[in-house]
Amino acid sequence: MAKASLKKTSAAMLPWLGLALILLIADQFTKVLILGYYRLGDATYVTSFFNVVRVHNTGAAFSFLASASGWQRWFFTVLGLVAAAFIIWMLKSHAGQKLFSFAMACILGGALGNVIDRTLHGYVVDFLDFHYGSWHFPAFNIADSAITVGAVCLILDELLRVRRAKA
């Protein structure tokens, strides 16, 4: 009986792991293109509010700790791997919860995409640059976008859960 339950749980996880893999591949593919066609600091004007750039982020979100002495590379790499292991465990436990699992898969794909960058290069490759006038949002990548979408979906999932509990 336990084997059948484990097999069912593993099968329920596959679509979510597949989504994480698709996001990871999209992230790494776009970064390979940027590394192949752009030098550090290069930018291409696309619209009045968007450029494609090549930026190296040695820190975390919004370049947090980017100016630290180098320890942050391994700290954020280990943190990403621990988060990935926790997310896989959560997916195994909650694979039937669609919005929650979608959120976890997005965060997993994004976290692993940035872990790969830190491991291979010592920095994360960012390239999406949105701006308005003199204001610039910090450059980011597909992995960062996936993590953000996942975080928003986690919040939405919790709000919906609380709402259902009150009804």
CA distance 140 to 137: 9
Q: What are phi and psi of 138, to 5 degrees?
A: -55, 140
The active-site residue out of 27, 117, 129, 144 is: 144
106-130-17 Cα angle (round to 5):
10
In this structure, the number of other CB atoms found within 10 A of the CB of residue 21 comes to 14
Annotated catalytic residue 42: no
Instruction: Please tell me the distance from the alpha carbon of residue 12 to that of residue 91, in angstroms, as a whole number.
Output: 9
Task: Tell me how far apart the alpha carbons of residues 149 and 143 are, in angstroms, rounded to a whole number.
Answer: 10
Angle (deg, nearest 10), helices 2-37 and 98-121: 50
27 is catalytic: no
Query: Facing residues of 132 across strands?
Result: 135
Query: Which residue among the candidates 117, 126, 129, 157 is catalytic per the annotation?
Result: 126
Residues taking part in catalysis: 126, 144
